Every structure is written in structure tokens, then in C-alpha cells.
Amino acid sequence: MKPLFIKNFTLEQLEAWVASQGEKPFRARQLYKHLYARNISNWSQCTDLSRSFCARLQSQTSLHALTVARIDEARDGTRKYLFGLHDGNFIESVLISDPPRCTLCVSSQAGCALGCKFCMTGSRGLKRNLETAEIVDQVCMSLRDEKLGPKINSLVFMGMGEPLANYDEVLRALTIITDPNGLMFSHRRVTVSTAGLVPQMLRLGATTPVNLAISIHAPNDALRDELMPINRKYPLGELMGACRKYPLQTRKRITFEYILLEGVNDSTAQARELVKLLRGVRAKINLIAFNPHPGTLYRPPSQEKILAFQDVLRNANLTAIIRKSRGSEISAACGQLAGQKQLIPEDWSRVP
């Protein structure tokens, strides 16, 4: 039988559940504090809860929604976690240290249905949506990693899956992550990335002030239709219209992710098209050279071509940053996540 994940509950829902157990309402806040502010790894750490309540928590609920199957570390210090789910599926999270930033890249689905041509996750299809607890626990478990965990100060929903295709669970996870009584991340330090699910994007903007990133990757519909099939449903005109009316707080901008593929979307003419496309949008652009993975025919452009592309954007007064590729040799770089279960190392007892 599927376990009841305690981390599926927001504080409000936890209060209702605690009341249904015949416990006093203040127990819910106590419990919530243990789960997130203290980030406990064992029910026995809740010394201020009665023994009988602890025993009931232990027998009726599951504190952990994930198990750590493997941790890889790249030469640049990037850490990739392979997490096991209760049904035998696997997901990945990536922790990237770039002081003063230390960013955890979180997955929202096991696999992805959107099938972007350059993406390893997309090439394997969707297994299923993650539950709230499976999203939140990626953060809780990574925070407990002695190497970098305590330094995590920002989160991006750019791991496996399209977050807005799993809207309700992602929103509930965001509530817990940004709750001052929960995981206490500032909205300014949390970014949700989408391939362009327009209705859900507008709903998100009306609901929470977290940052928005859009995987754009092509400056016109013909090419985007080919690279990202979701564009056939929500073409660029509709997507950019939504960006123009997106409720942004003062000084905030929408981030556009653009993976550069040699000979496909990396010409200066295409950079000029992108400039036109972004007119009227408060935008910044992240340029990322493609990270090849097994089975792909795409290649990254030369450094010269990347700089020429960036120059066109900068000359049009757009902020365009070339992002360093991180963790590519452990397949932790952008578009390389596949949730593959590999050999579990013998020293896996070092897991958080």
C-alpha cells in the first residue's frame, strides 16, 4: 500500500490531519517545525511530542518520500543525487555551488512528456508526476548533505519534468518551500522554469511571486515547432503575449533560457530575431552551450559563435549571460538528467 507522506501536507492541511488524530491543534505547528525548520531525519528526534503520537506517526505515515540511491560529484564540485521513489522510479536533483550562490535544481516529474528534441529527459517520456512530498524532500535531503547542503540558498525547478504540467503538486511544494514556518526560502530565491504552458504560467503569476524562467531555445515558430513540440499548442505569439502581461514585481525580469545548438539556432540572424521577439518584455537571457549526451546529433557551437550571438543581444541593450556548463561529466548539466539507476556505490552509507 502506498505510504501517507507527511510532507504532502501544507501547514493548514497538517492542522486538519492532526485534529483528525484527536491531537491538540498546536501539535501541528510543532510537527511542522520538526519537519522543516529542524529538518529531522527520524521521528525519535521529536522529543516534545508524546510517545503515543510519535508511535502513531511512525506507523501511519512516512517521514521520507525518497531514498538516496547514489551521489555523484563532478570535478567542479557539482553534486548529483539519484533519488529512488516508492514505486521503483528514479529522479535526479543537482546541487551547483557558484559562490555566493548555491543552487539546488529540483525535479517535478519522473521523466517528461514534452519531448524537446535536445533533452535527454524528454527522450524517455513521462513516467509520472511527483507528489508534493517527493518535491519537498529533494530539498530536505540535500540540505542535510554535509558537503554543501547548509549553503543552499536558491532553488530552481529546472530538473526532470515540466513543473507547470504538475501544477497543483508544484504549487503546494512552493507553499511549503517559501513558508516562513516551513523551509523559509525567499520568493526571490526560487525560480520555476517552463517550456511555455501559457494558461498555467498565467495562473502561477497570479498566485505566487516566485521567479519565472522560460525555455525559449528558438526565435521563430518554424524552428521552435521542430525543437519543442509544445510550441505547436502555444506558439510564440501567445507565449510572448503572456510574458508581456505577466505580473512582475519591481526590478524583476523573466529569464529566457536559450540552449545554443551548432548550426541550428546559433546564427547572428537568429540572435536578431530573438531581439525582435523579446521587444516589450522585461527579460534577461541565459545562453547555454549544448551539453551533448549519448544518442544526440546536436553539438555545441564554437566559443566564437556564442560570443557573436551574445554581442547581438547586448548591442540591443539586452542582458545576456553565457552560463558555464556545470557537472557535464556526471550528466548533471542542463538537459542531461535521465534518472538512470546505475551501480550503487559501496559507500552509499555516506548519504544524508
Look up cell 524517455; give the residue.
Answer: 124
- Judged by CB under 6 A, the stretch of 16-24, 118-126, 137-145, 319-327 that binds ligand SF4 is 118-126
Beta carbons of 162 and 108 less than 8 angstroms apart? yes
Q: Where are the beta strands (DSSP E) in 85-233?
A: 90-98, 101-105, 109-111, 126-129, 154-157, 190-194, 211-215
What x/- string results for residues 54 through 93 when contact with ligand SF4 is judged by CB under 6 A? ----------------------------------------
Site membership for ligand SF4, residue 137 (CB under 6 A): no
266 binds ligand SF4 (CB under 6 A): no
Q: Which of 161, 182, 205, 300 binds ligand SF4 (CB under 6 A)?
A: 161
Long-range contacts of 324-328 (CB under 8 A, 24+ apart): 324/98, 325/288, 325/289, 325/291, 326/74, 326/76, 326/78, 326/94, 326/96, 326/98, 327/74, 327/76, 327/78, 327/80, 327/94, 327/96, 328/74, 328/291
Q: Which of 15, 23, 92, 169 is catalytic?
A: 92
Binding residue (CB under 6 A) for ligand SF4 from 31, 94, 104, 119 = 119
Q: Does 122 bind ligand SF4 (CB under 6 A)?
A: yes
* Binding to ligand SF4 in span 169-198, by CB under 6 A: 195
Cβ atoms of residues 14 and 32 within 8 Å: yes
Is 273 an active-site residue?
Answer: no
Q: Does 162 bind ligand SF4 (CB under 6 A)?
A: yes
Least Å distance, CB 210 to ligand SF4, is 17
Selected from 65, 112, 201, 264, the binder of ligand SF4 by CB under 6 A is 112
Position closest to ligand SF4 via CB:
122
Q: Is the Cβ of residue 131 or residue 162 nearer to ligand SF4 in the bound state?
A: 162
CA distance 35 to 160: 25
Alpha-carbon distance of 105 to 327, in angstroms, equals: 12
Active site residue 334: yes
Based on the shown chain and the rule CB under 6 A, indicate whether residue 114 belongs to the binding site for ligand SF4.
yes
Output 301 or 335, the one with its CB closest to ligand SF4.
335
Compute the least distance from the CB of residue 302 to ligand SF4, in Å.
Answer: 23
Q: What is the DSSP letter of 23?
A: -
CB of 264 to ligand SF4, least distance (A): 15
Stretch that binds ligand SF4, among 1-9, 41-49, 160-168, 319-327 (CB under 6 A): 160-168
Could you tell me which residues are beta bridge partners of residue 103? 96, 154
The beta strands (E) that lie in 99-161 are given as 101-105, 109-111, 126-129, 154-157
94 near ligand SF4, rule: CB under 6 A: no
Q: What are the backbone angles phi and psi of residue 183, rounded to the nearest 5°?
A: -85, -5
When the beta carbons of 121 and 166 are compared against ligand SF4, the nearer one is: 121
Q: Which amino acid is at 92?
A: E
Query: Terminus-to-terminus CA distance in the chain, angstroms?
Result: 26
The CA distance from 30 to 11, in Å, is 10
For the annotated catalytic residues, the residue numbers are 92, 334
Residues that bind ligand SF4 (CB under 6 A): 112, 114-116, 119, 121-122, 160-162, 195, 215, 335
